Amino acid sequence: MITIKKELERCKKEGLSGVIGTIISTKGSTYQKTGAKCFVSEDRKLTGLLSGGCVEADIVEHAVKVLETGKPAVLHYDFYGEEDIVWGLGVGCNGKMNIFLQRKRKII
């Protein structure tokens, strides 16, 4: 959380907004558990990890949409299943997670 706090301070200084991502539920094996957070700044800098690095680029893309629309989003990631070519890369996850993305307006 200290790194996110420092990033929020940077955004305040530069007049940037961003998106807070919070894991709202998990099932099975995941790198992070419910309550873990990340922050994606308006200039696309990601602070904090919610997985072992396998979904962060996707989170950033969804965060950009949340910034554009102002509408929060819930992302669903399912790492179960041997037929899963994209997410089930044997990188330590064998579970599911849901992440809530919410816009954080310019930090004052």
Per-residue pLDDT reduced to its tens digit, 32-89: 999 999 999 999 999 999 988 889 999 999 999 999 999 999 999 988 765 555 544 5
Helix, coil or strand: residue 33? coil
| Domain limits, the chain | 2-104
The whole model's pTM is what?
0.85
Burial class (CB in 10 A: 0-12, 13-18, 19+), 51: buried
pLDDT at residue 91 tops 80: no
Please tell me what DSSP assigns to residue 44. Answer: -
CA distance 107 to 34: 25
Residues 60, 90 contacting (CB under 8 angstroms): no
pLDDT of residue 108 exceeding 60, the answer is no
pLDDT for position 89: 53
**Measured between alpha carbons, how far is 15 from 73 in angstroms, rounded to an integer?**
23
- Say if residue 92's pLDDT is above 70: no
Q: Note the pLDDT of residue 29.
A: 86
Give the amino acid at 88: G
